[in-house]
Structure 1
């Protein structure tokens, strides 16, 4: 065992020194303040039982259900909102550790857990863990065990004071991990401790020991224990007695925290914090992902989460929550990686291992897999030309075709890149099994019979009738060496000697026109054609030389323009479109878009290439996408849907769902939907209906459904989650729901009516009197109702008199009254007050170019965006024309947080375009003039507005779309 440990240690140390060559961009989607995450310093992450992501921050806890973010703070029971740890136990209960307290999730908020009335303060980092029976808390004063008892929580210390005196390591516990059976592992001092059956055991390092505590612990699926200190990664193999150290990559720019996050992904690779990014260990080498690979993590990665559907989420110190898009299979290349243009059209892996990129600005090459960047081929002083197609001859020279018709050849051995011929627009280059170079163009087909001898292109595309082929859109080489062409005149193939037309026949009443096809792929005795709105067609070669076409049922391609097709070595068909890439494994389809790591949805024509290792390259107008680990594309998605209603979690279908009985409520029933499927979330839809109320299914992304005023009776709510891009759906979730009648429709109420009727019979002699009294009460009720209606009407008329008719905010008169009152109040109490004069930039151009209805839409949008950030005691009014006024009591613009709030108002207006009548999207900018109440002297509302107006004038003069502040002491 000792020799084996030493050997593993040496291998790990040597392998850790190797940092895999980077230079591929990763795609991340960020959740920040715009999405509702108000604090961007993430400290902890956890996934709830319903699939939701819980986000702990330095100032509050947040819940993300895949659609929206909801915040929790003091008002929801978190008396201390400074979250430092999160944990979901085996029962699905969420535990929250803060700087000074421990909380658990209650029905509508959170409740604190105390011991003898004193709070429990968890340590930052990995301080919460659980076995089947108990929660383990690494608190500032020791380890606690928290269990649910008959009358509440039973809390006890695991180690008493005498234990800590006897074992000094127990005084310095950094992280804790509980096994299902109850054993505890924790970092103690600079060693690893195990507590089992009342006995403590220490594990030291084999070789060089750690200089920092073990801040993170993790058990992988193969049973091995992994740990992370600030300076190294550590492993305890099964049955081993010593820890094996694995060196981290070279020193990062930023130091590691005391508890660096550590997780294992679905492929068994370890991810951990490194510098301001993350590093991934596959057992042989490290791969770093940081700023150079597209990750913007602010002060660094502070938390990591692997969700149930294999997604990776990163909590950052100041940049919010980052979702790693296409984690398992997608990378991209662009300007950062050395490409002369992000517009990518062609790819080629040479026999020598170099990777060539055809871009909108010429040819680039990555010399080998260790190169971190590509370099431009040729003289950068020459005018750029699109390298739209690539091929390699038997001498290893690279042939390059362009849309301008230029044919060039590059010799990597000499570095010479020279012009060969000028042809019509070149659409593809192919080298067949005999070494001939085929060139398809908009002016026919050319062949260079012996490219190694620099022979010139020879046109060979006469068919048997002597016709020249018109525009050739695409070509491919079948397994038998035959070259297939698709042209405006139809489908052709050639064996190198003659060109034969392949007549297309089919069962369809009308086949698409040949000009409707723009993409071609070859298989064994099969071809595929697609393009434009023609859809996808499969052709099978018949004995009579024809090709029988049949349309391929591809729902994901409906309405999409196919610009490229490729059949890979797995037998999968790839279809590049104007809205992403569709992949068909001949059993089901999978769609890949920007939400899955594609740099841009608009793919370039014919830009699909299969690398030697089976990975795929896709060219888009904003970069090249590289897809590997392709089996992950068709991994069976874990799609589910969970239902919560009236505070009850509804068991999944088949779990003995007993249904719910609810009292009748005027506001109706609200149902909450969640799904643990967070990958490809943009394509997730919930399909649902309330049987007994509606027959048709409804579909949408909303996670909160309201059914107001449900009549008493029996209902069945049915819902399932469906992901269009994954072509997957969850099991149907059902809920039997009974709405009880209101009290006035119950049997008890009817019995009361019967008793009253009997009393009336007994007292028939005074029925007339009771009738008169009843009539009198009725008249009084009518008078009261009429009085209420009049009062309501008066209130409505007053509100209309105070509101602007277009935008719904205060009109100038009401604004003046509110401003005068706030100025007077602020002057008396010597409290700060800010006034913002908002003016839409170049508003007259909007009216002139798009009409007054568009101008009205812009004004309404500005008002709504401003109103969305106002507090209950702020005032927003229309000052006139395109000008608005914000009155912000208690806001001190001399402080950074005050100005940050002003900037937030400004960003809210300019964040996104405004949809106007006619469907156009207008970019809206605005200028702010800001003035604050001058302390030490009396100032009227008119003077305050005058100073804000002067600041606004400066904003306009300084270029618009900016915020200018008035001098508090100035008197403009």
Structure 2
């Protein structure tokens, strides 16, 4: 068998041992799978990583991630990378990182020995002067409190600064040690440049005395079930209970295995020079990961898998529950529009470019030459375990045991375009753009249930009510015993466009273009984006038989548990984003869910879904006082004063998705209330009152689990000098000494300021009189035109009537009205009307004498009072004003227009007029005459009183 080798000892191997080996091998490596796509997050130099070649990884006690590169150390807290590349930190390549039982980080280097970090600071540094046989440290491990180092010249054991060495003088065949591990019987396994050796009873032997080799071993791993695995340049070697198995090409893409780790759910991961290999449940999976050369792999406490590459930076796998299949894996087209998982491991896949049969990890494509009526495969409906109806745009065909064929029934259907199918009883129902068709499986009778051009896009069975449910033109219909009934499952939502519907023993679930509905009896619950759904447009629904409803939308998929919604999209495993049809989702017999999207086929394995139950660790990372950073090691800080600003930055160490970590904080001394969790990881306090303060912050991971600690920091703001007791006593004494001097000075000050005060009173009086005059003018002036207002006009008329009676003098009175003013407002707007009134007011001012009185009577009417003026003089003035207005061109925004005025004239000459109202009534009559006589004229009223 190519790629599989059994290394025998120098003598003949017993037949029973051969049987044991072969049984073990075929059980463990029964299947090989090639899954080309895994979702991962990539970190590189542009994001702050020190170097793009990662040789080792470890997580510290707090949860921070340390990365060994070819030029030093890099630390990541979920927000920022902090690089340590200058002394006293190592500057050479870091080959291994290890956290011991005390929480110290051991750093293995190529030429600088081994460093020990405590709380991120260099604690110890071991070199040749301390007894190391070599400065090249390849591997670090701990056993019973002893630190074991695999070096370039033997094995080093360190305990309380005491160093012991195992090398060739102790019988070690090769002192170039790359890896060390203890098996379940406390035997030391040593991986070297030339092979694997086991120390038993202080002697080094080949494994089990049966395995002799010349392997270049990179890494040794002991699994939880006791197996010893060796990663070599010649594949993977597995030692288990006396049996030895080897895995190499062609079952894996590369024999160059650089590192390995035991991951979640019993899986084992191997890094190679050609991607990632995973062994899981007797299956081998290969992930190309951009064909990167992988150096190292590590599983953190949240079961995140970190991978160090050679030149490609750092990778973090995000959700292995999803596997992505594309054209590279054999699909005929990336857009998957229909899926049907059969009872075994077989999956039928419909695309726009043919049908695919996925059996295990093999994909076979069916096209026209294989019997498909049309390349656009829209739906599947099982007739039996082995016979499946396949719906296309040109009729249906039967799939059975790897072949497609027609029978009488499929020929009856003809070239009908099929959107969806469902079998109920002995009848096959076909959803088409021209209605719901049926064909009897026994009598071959066929017909149409819903007549007319109705586009039927989805069919399902309501087994509880023994009815058929289907969606046509966005409406839901029920068919039972030959009766069709239009339904409205979501009650009062009459305008919904339905896309899919699902029923089970507990509820009806409806997907629409505007949300997801759950109907339980008379209770209807709607879920949309504000309720946590990734998108309101629902494409497909599926019941996973575990209490969850899966909702496929235009933007990701959602798992609805009945209480809450969990979204899967490109950030946590599902990169398909958008499902295509209601038929593009299916559940297989293993509990895996399959999704069809525009970018390929996706499978979801719930066994590989890891819910993050590990609480994060909250850490304060930076403190600034007045924009100047201070040492965080000071747990109590005295600030300069109350005007100081305090900026605090913090992180929650949780790496399932760093962007989903939220924070809640409070400042004791200011408020005892915790803030509502948010993603903001910094806060600035300013203008705090003097006193003692303690800042507290906690974080929450993606699942809402709070941190296992509350990070705190205390600071003190001293009171200003003037609030301190000793300063207040001193100030009181000084006050008493100054009081006498101030008293003496006061007499002089009072006298000196008495005259000043009198001057100020006089000046203030004049100011008040001036302001009073200005206010009076404002009260009697029209704000738009600057003329006097009607209120002041009445007072003026009374005075003039009294003066005329007393001295028997004449006075004249003019009332002016703008012709067509309403039309100006309607045509050009009120702004133009206001400009007309201002211009006419200016014309009036320009034509009257200083002794005359002009006022705006109201709206578009003006009044002029002319003392000592005869009728002849009044008529002359009126005519001048009328003609001036007539010649004036008005304009607004480059639009020009003209207007005219009508004027009424009245001269008071010994008439018995007592009140302004009588005078205004008479002049109003004159104005009325001017209006009815054709406008743009002057009219006079000659009226005598007896």
Pair 1:459-2:444 in alignment: no
Superposed, which structure 2 residues align to 1:7-406 within 5 Å? Answer: 7-15=19-27, 18-22=30-34, 25-37=37-49, 39-74=51-86, 77-101=88-112, 102-105=114-117, 110=122, 113-115=125-127, 117=129, 127-131=139-143, 133-147=145-159, 154-159=160-165, 164-169=168-173, 171-177=175-181, 185-187=189-191, 190-194=195-199, 199=202, 202=205, 204-205=207-208, 207-235=210-238, 237=240, 242=242, 244-250=244-250, 256=256, 260-282=258-280, 284-290=282-288, 295-298=289-292, 300-327=293-320, 329-350=321-342, 354-359=346-351, 361-366=352-357, 368-371=359-362, 373-378=363-368, 386-394=376-384, 398-401=388-391, 406=394
Moved more, 373-382 or 711-720: 373-382
- Please give the secondary structure, in 2, of the residue aligned with 1:296: helix
How far the C-alpha of 1:248 sits from its partner, in A, is 3.4
How far the C-alpha of 1:472 sits from its partner, in A, is 4.0
- Counterpart contact for 1:427–1:442, Cα < 8 Å: yes
Question: What does the per-residue CA deviation read over 1:363-421, in whole Å, with 9 as the maximum and x for residues that have no partner?
Answer: 321253252x342422599998643322243495654445xx54332555664589875
Q: Which residue of 1 aligns with 2:638?
A: 663
- Please give the secondary structure, in 2, of the residue aligned with 1:80: coil
How far the C-alpha of 1:158 sits from its partner, in A, is 1.9
Pair 1:445-2:439 in alignment: no
CA shift in 2, pair 1:334/1:73, >3 Å = same
Q: Which residue of 2 aligns with 1:638?
A: 614
- C-alpha distance in 2 between matches for 1:115 and 1:207: 38
- Counterpart contact for 2:576–2:599, Cα < 8 Å: yes
CA shift in 2, pair 1:520/1:664, >3 Å = same
Pair 1:474-2:477 in alignment: no
Question: Normalising by the residue count of structure 2, what TM-score does the alignment of the two structures yield?
Answer: 0.65
CA shift in 2, pair 1:515/1:389, >3 Å = farther
Question: What does the per-residue CA deviation read over 1:238-288, in whole Å, with 9 as the maximum and x for residues that have no partner?
Answer: xx5x5633433437665526xx31111111122213441222223634333
CA shift in 2, pair 1:394/1:490, >3 Å = same
- Please give the secondary structure, in 2, of the residue aligned with 1:617: strand
- C-alpha distance in 1 between matches for 2:440 and 2:686: 76
- C-alpha distance in 1 between matches for 2:16 and 2:663: 53
Pair 1:519-2:522 in alignment: no
How far the C-alpha of 1:303 sits from its partner, in A, is 0.4
- C-alpha distance in 1 between matches for 2:135 and 2:494: 70
Moved more, 382-391 or 37-46: 382-391
Pair 1:610-2:577 in alignment: no
Q: Which residue of 2 aligns with 1:485?
A: 470
How far the C-alpha of 1:573 sits from its partner, in A, is 1.0
Moved more, 479-488 or 88-97: 479-488
How far the C-alpha of 1:80 sits from its partner, in A, is 1.8
CA shift in 2, pair 1:505/1:84, >3 Å = closer
Pair 1:601-2:585 in alignment: no
- Please give the secondary structure, in 2, of the residue aligned with 1:168: coil
How far the C-alpha of 1:347 sits from its partner, in A, is 0.7
Question: What does the per-residue CA deviation read over 1:672-698, in whole Å, with 9 as the maximum and x for residues that have no partner?
Answer: 21323x224454433444455575735
Q: Which residue of 2 aligns with 1:673?
A: 651
Q: Which residue of 1 aligns with 2:600?
A: 623
- Counterpart contact for 1:61–1:81, Cα < 8 Å: no
Question: What does the per-residue CA deviation read over 1:847-881, in whole Å, with 9 as the maximum and x for residues that have no partner?
Answer: xxxxxxxxxxxxxxxxxxxxxxxxxxxxxxxxxxx
How far the C-alpha of 1:618 sits from its partner, in A, is 0.9
CA shift in 2, pair 1:561/1:278, >3 Å = same
Question: Normalising by the residue count of structure 1, what TM-score does the alignment of the two structures yield?
Answer: 0.64
CA shift in 2, pair 1:745/1:9, >3 Å = farther
Question: What does the per-residue CA deviation read over 1:872-913, in whole Å, with 9 as the maximum and x for residues that have no partner?
Answer: xxxxxxxxxxxxxxxxxxxxxxxxxxxxxxxxxxxxxxxxxx
- Counterpart contact for 1:689–1:698, Cα < 8 Å: no
- C-alpha distance in 1 between matches for 2:109 and 2:278: 29
CA shift in 2, pair 1:762/1:587, >3 Å = closer
How far the C-alpha of 1:122 sits from its partner, in A, is 7.2
- C-alpha distance in 1 between matches for 2:611 and 2:333: 34
Pair 1:530-2:526 in alignment: no
Structure with greater Cα Rg:
2
Provide structure 1 residue ranges, at least 5 long, that are not aligned to the other structure: 148-153, 463-467, 541-546, 648-657, 769-972
Question: What does the per-residue CA deviation read over 1:107-136, in whole Å, with 9 as the maximum and x for residues that have no partner?
Answer: 565466035756969777851123463433
Moved more, 552-561 or 441-450: 552-561
Q: Which residue of 1 aligns with 2:524?
A: 549
Provide structure 2 residue ranges, at least 5 long, that are not aligned to the other structure: 1-13, 624-632, 743-946
Question: What does the per-residue CA deviation read over 1:130-156, in whole Å, with 9 as the maximum and x for residues that have no partner?
Answer: 346343332334333445xxxxxx533
Q: Which residue of 2 aligns with 1:714?
A: 693
- C-alpha distance in 2 between matches for 1:7 and 1:504: 63
Q: Which residue of 2 aligns with 1:884?
A: none
Select the residue among 555, 560, 566 that pairs with 1:584.
560
- C-alpha distance in 2 between matches for 1:181 and 1:67: 43
Q: Which runs of 4+ in 1 moved over 6 A?
A: 2-5, 121-125, 178-183, 380-384, 417-420, 422-425, 743-747, 754-765
Q: Which residue of 2 aligns with 1:739?
A: 715
Pair 1:729-2:705 in alignment: yes
- Please give the secondary structure, in 1, of the residue aligned with 2:328: helix
- Counterpart contact for 1:326–1:595, Cα < 8 Å: no
Superposed, which structure 2 residues align to 1:399-438 within 5 Å? Answer: 399-401=389-391, 406-409=394-397, 411=399, 415=404, 426-432=418-424, 434-438=425-429
Moved more, 381-390 or 90-99: 381-390
- C-alpha distance in 2 between matches for 1:336 and 1:121: 50
- Counterpart contact for 2:618–2:710, Cα < 8 Å: no
- Please give the secondary structure, in 2, of the residue aligned with 1:10: helix
- C-alpha distance in 1 between matches for 2:184 and 2:211: 32
CA shift in 2, pair 1:321/1:499, >3 Å = same
- C-alpha distance in 1 between matches for 2:616 and 2:253: 41
- C-alpha distance in 1 between matches for 2:688 and 2:18: 71
Superposed, which structure 2 residues align to 1:761-910 within 5 Å? Answer: none
- C-alpha distance in 1 between matches for 2:196 and 2:610: 43
How far the C-alpha of 1:68 sits from its partner, in A, is 3.6
Q: Which residue of 1 aligns with 2:776?
A: none
**Count of residues paired in the alignment:** 707
CA shift in 2, pair 1:693/1:203, >3 Å = farther
Question: What does the per-residue CA deviation read over 1:609-655, in whole Å, with 9 as the maximum and x for residues that have no partner?
Answer: 11233211111221121112x144374632423223569xxxxxxxx
How far the C-alpha of 1:88 sits from its partner, in A, is 1.9
- C-alpha distance in 2 between matches for 1:142 and 1:705: 52
